[in-house]
Amino acid sequence: MTPHRIMFWQIDYVWIFYVLAGLAAGIFLAGLAAHICVWKKRAGSREMSFSGDALKRTILDVFLGRRVLQGDMAAGLMHLFLFWGFLALFIGTALLAIHHYLISFLEGTSYLIFSMSMEVGGLMLLAGIIWAIVRRYIQRVPRLERRLEDALVPTWLLLAALSGFMLEGLRLAAQQPQWGAWSFVGWGLSGLFSSASAQALYPYLWWGHTVLSLSFIAVIPFTKLFHVLGAPAGIYFQGLSKPAIPGVAEGAGEFDLGDAIFFDGCMRCGRCVAACPSAGAGEPFAPRDFVQAMRRAVWQEHFPLGDIRFLSRGEESKVDENFWYCTTCRACLEVCPVYGAAFEVVTKKRVLAVEEGTQVPTLLNQTLEKVFKYDNPWESSRSKRGAWAEGLDLIDLSKRGAEADLCYFVGCTTSFDATAQVIARSFSEILRTAGVNFGILGKKEPCCGDIARRVGELGLFEEKMEGCCDLFDQYGITDVATSSPHCFHTFRNEYPEAPFKARHYTLVLRELMAQGKLQFKKKVEATVTYHDPCYLGRHNRIFDEPREIIRAIPGLRLVEMTHHRVDSLCCGGGGGRMWQDLDGEVKMSEVRVREAEATGAEILITACPLCLIMLEDARKAAGLKEPFRVMDLNELVLQTLDGADKKVEIRN
């Protein structure tokens, strides 16, 4: 006899199945339509355009699991088992329908291959489900939540998978086909039943399995499982080009189409929580909780029935001042499987808070007033901005007739903070020693607007941006070097069509090395470790240049901390936090200096004034003494140069 399968074997009242299937499909499509409706309301005039690159990335990420495998191989493999197992069974069910209703082709060899493939798919799904349950409830992976939905969904799918295998076992026990061994799992289970008992039980289990499977499909849009559709859409959308200045436009504080898709595609996997420095420090902020709160808020605003996810009904959707804890370090985006930038959503929420004049911390409000009135967040005066350069005899480009090839943009923090001023003095002396024709703007130097941009005061940011561009144009400045990665990032990425080139000082030092103008003559016998500033590393992918400079210094031995490069830990000074009073179980900066000390390094090097301040304060608070020190890269470089001015102060 030719291997085949009889559809609806031993099943009466087949019309009930069609009614249930139609009902399940209708509920599923209604839920899908609700999501599309909400997305369209958030889209405004923006439409989903086609991009071949975005489509390619989506296909690779969805089918190969590139992002879920990254950083957590166990979780990635578990997800692939679930995905490919579910997909195999879905495709198999579709093929059965085509065979039954359109064209018969599942006979003979093709049926045997089909049977075996369905068994493999079912085993993969079963293994993935069990693995997921073990990780969440036995291993109790810290980043995973354990809510009602988290238990109900895998249990539901587990019952559907087990009942499917059992159903196959009953059918094979009753029919005893010669080819039964090709369905090897069902064939093994068939030995548990006699032919008569299997035939009697089969219809009941068939209906039970049918109800479990159809109802599971029906509720997908109403649970976190909607990520099976939302995640691919989110990955595709995030692959499309974005405006030059994200968020600086009319309605900048509103969530757009990309945000709405990201919210619905979030699986609450918790990778962002594990990577978030704020959550790691025990502060009352976690990207996942914030994203879920924003999702509920969007649904409550745009859908008549409120939150479509019935298992989330009653959860708190209000977000208080906790979003000010976000450092905007970008760590969440590095690990999110759907490329969700929670820190950008935080910035939009801050824009709304600033526009409404609510939920803005008092100290931060005072800081923004200083930026508006005095062009800096530190001092109620402009007069002290160039005080760091006294006695250095530097060219002041704001004076009539002054010219230079390079403008050194010192920045607010480096200009005013006593700890950070060593960066300006050291870098200036390095440039002088290397023969670079450079100048500064002294008291005329403006604020780039970074802090206003990070905390959502977009009007103030645009004012500072226009002021900077006008000033640079006035003095003919086309080449700018910055002390701060924050100034560098702002100039490079958020000034549209800026008429000047901006570089962070590490890029300038690396260029001088390549030109032979910077040669390290003196040995520095020490073991050092390097802290990647968030806005230099993760935001602008500048990881190698600082390390190349460090490795070129004779006598230095560079060791890496556990968290480095894209996985670096934030110092806690970004996102406007420097000008707020925020507390957690432990300071982020203290966590970082402890990790640096654990490497055995004598010197912790960084390349950011905010990092230098935060890490130095943490070193003192932690009681870490000599020989352990925190230094800016410029300080270290200056110690190795012949001909450097001894009047330049180097911190000990």
Strands 556-558 and 438-440: unpaired
Using CB atoms within 10 A of its CB, is residue 201 exposed (0-12), middle (13-18) or buried (19+)?
middle
Region 438-447 average pLDDT: 93
pLDDT at 107 over 90: no
In this predicted structure, what is the pLDDT of residue 40? 87
Inter-residue contact 461 to 487 (CB < 8 Å): no
Look at 582 and 635; give whichever has higher pLDDT: 635
Inter-residue contact 477 to 440 (CB < 8 Å): no
- Which helix (DSSP H) or strand (DSSP E) does residue 248 occupy? none
- C-alpha distances out from residue 240 to 29, 49, 228, 338, 339, Å: 26, 8, 20, 13, 12
Least confident stretch, 149-153, 242-246, 420-424, 458-462? 242-246
Strand partners, 479: 501
How far does the chain reach from its first CA to its final CA, in angstroms? 89
Residue 530 carries which side chain, given as an amino acid letter?
Y
Region 465-481 average pLDDT: 93
- C-alpha distances out from residue 6 to 3, 96, 109, Å: 10, 10, 16
At 392-420, the pLDDT tens digits run: 889 999 888 888 999 999 999 999 999 99
In this predicted structure, what is the pLDDT of residue 578? 87
In this predicted structure, what is the pLDDT of residue 569? 94
* SS percent in the chain: helix, strand, coil, step 5: 60, 5, 35
Domains, the chain, in order of start with CATH, read 14-39+51-231 (1.20.950.20), 375-512 (3.40.50), 515-639 (3.40.50.10700)
CA 119 – CA 182 distance, rounded (Å): 9
Model confidence band, residue 430 (pLDDT cutoffs 50, 70, 90): very high
pLDDT at 228 over 60: yes
At 542-599, the pLDDT tens digits run: 999 999 999 999 999 999 999 999 999 999 999 988 888 887 778 899 999 999 999 9
Residue ranges of alpha helices (H) inside 434-569 are 450-455, 458-474, 485-494, 505-514, 544-552
Residues 6+ apart with CB under 8 A from 40: none
pLDDT at 71 over 60: yes
Model confidence band, residue 322 (pLDDT cutoffs 50, 70, 90): confident
Q: How many helices (H) and strands (E) does the chain have?
A: 26, 9
CA 387 – CA 87 distance, rounded (Å): 66
CA dihedral 275, 278, 282, 284 (to 10 degrees): -120
Model confidence band, residue 499 (pLDDT cutoffs 50, 70, 90): confident
The mean of the pLDDT values for the chain is 89
In this predicted structure, what is the pLDDT of residue 43? 78
pLDDT at 436 over 90: yes
In this predicted structure, what is the pLDDT of residue 313? 63
At 13, phi and psi to the nearest 5? 50, 50
Instruction: Compute how many other C-beta atoms are within 10 angstroms of the C-beta atom of residue 443.
Output: 15
pLDDT at 106 over 90: no
Least confident stretch, 40-54, 451-465, 475-489? 40-54
Inter-residue contact 447 to 414 (CB < 8 Å): no
Model confidence band, residue 5 (pLDDT cutoffs 50, 70, 90): confident
- Closest by CA to 420, choosing from 638, 571, 151, 612, is 612
pLDDT at 10 over 90: no
Q: Above pLDDT 70, what percent of the chain?
A: 94
CA dihedral 15, 18, 22, 24 (to 10 degrees): 110
Least confident stretch, 112-126, 299-313, 545-559? 299-313
Inter-residue contact 586 to 279 (CB < 8 Å): no
CA 118 – CA 116 distance, rounded (Å): 5
pLDDT at 246 over 60: no
Inter-residue contact 42 to 234 (CB < 8 Å): no
CA 223 – CA 312 distance, rounded (Å): 8
Please spell the DSSP secondary structure of 562-590, one letter per residue.
Answer: SS-GGGPPP-S-TTTGGGS----SS-HHH
Region 92-107 average pLDDT: 89
Q: Above pLDDT 90, what percent of the chain?
A: 61
Model confidence band, residue 179 (pLDDT cutoffs 50, 70, 90): confident
